Amino acid sequence: MAFTLNSNITIGQFKKVKPNEVKIQLAISNYVNTCKIKLPASAHLVCENKAEKTNTVQTAQQFKEGDKVVVQLGYNGILKTEFTGFVARINIATPVEVECEGYSYQLRKKTPAPKTFKKAELKEVLKYIITGTDIVLDADIQGCVLEKIVINGHNGVEVLELIKKTLGDLVFMHFHNNVLYAGLTFLNPQQTVKYQLGWNVIKDNNLKQRQAKNDKITIVYKGKKKDGSNVQAVLKSKGQSKVITTEGEAGNGGETKTIVTHSVTDEATLKKMAEAKLKN
């Protein structure tokens, strides 16, 4: 079966924009989605429901920063929305390069009023910074208590960086179109993926079967408070009954993984993280 690549791109008021090249970068570990669209330096405009074309126009002059961008790509006429965002920059070159940014663009352009959050839920802080934008929060954002966040002259993206700095590697954030997910690393809701050799798995040389029932693991999450005291959550895999005396080493009694954090000291949150870590 032959595959024909198709696209449907809208930039601002212009629909069915014909590109030379499209590059999209998306990652669940990064909340900034980007798209670069290359276009001819000059083009003809075609009015809807009319066959006639306009005189030649300079492509770069037809767009401006902030224009809404929707990129749909697919094969044989079956299209899927791969990117939504806004024009961030126009490079006047040959071909013209239109650099686009996802919905983090709206956070970058918005500076919320100063506010201090203490012992606040992560979701509460996010709701505050997305007010007045087209961004919505993912329904699966898990509970996570932030010790303290001070917003004073920071734009929305800078607040996300404050959150990352506070929680360190324990948190990640990403956008799916205009939906923002933010949560603890091991609490990310995931769909079940079916792997098929020769289809979505290229090499099977290192593919090894591993069954959870055969693993004996103890997860220990320790939250260190400012006064030096600890809050911890301990969770053992099914069938694990022996007392573990070694940490980070495999033995007859299984393996203990201990993770220490200064950012999360809420016992309920630590327990959720331990449960999710054990599943992974």
pLDDT in tens, 97-137: 999 999 999 999 999 999 999 989 999 999 999 999 999 99
- Count CB-CB contacts under 10 A for residue 141: 19
**Degrees to nearest 5, angle at CA 63 with 18 and 70:** 55
Q: Is the pTM of this model over 0.85?
A: no
Rg (CA), the chain: 24
CA distance 140 to 125: 16
CA distance 95 to 12: 19
Q: What is the pLDDT of residue 214?
A: 59
Q: What is the pLDDT of residue 204?
A: 61
CA proximity to 90, closest of 12, 176, 174, 175: 12
Q: How many CA atoms lie within 13 A of 206 on its CB side?
A: 1
Q: What is the pLDDT of residue 186?
A: 57
pLDDT in tens, 208-232: 666 555 567 787 877 777 777 788 8
Domains and CATH numbers, the chain: 5-102 (2.40.10), 112-187 (3.55.50.30), 212-279 (no CATH)
**Degrees to nearest 5, angle at CA 116 with 110 and 121:** 90
CA proximity to 9, closest of 71, 74, 66: 71
pLDDT in tens, 44-58: 888 776 666 677 889
* Mean pLDDT value across the chain: 82
**Burial category of 218 from C-beta neighbours within 10 Å (exposed 0-12, middle 13-18, buried 19 and up):** buried
Q: What is the pLDDT of residue 234?
A: 80
Residue pair 100/69 in contact by the 8 Å Cβ criterion = yes
N residues, the chain: 280
Q: How many Å separate Cα 110 from the centre of its chain?
A: 19
Q: What is the pLDDT of residue 247?
A: 39
Which parts of the chain have pLDDT scores under 70?
Answer: 1, 49-53, 169, 185-191, 198-200, 202-215, 238-254, 262-263, 276-280
CA distance 46 to 183: 46
CA distance 201 to 165: 35
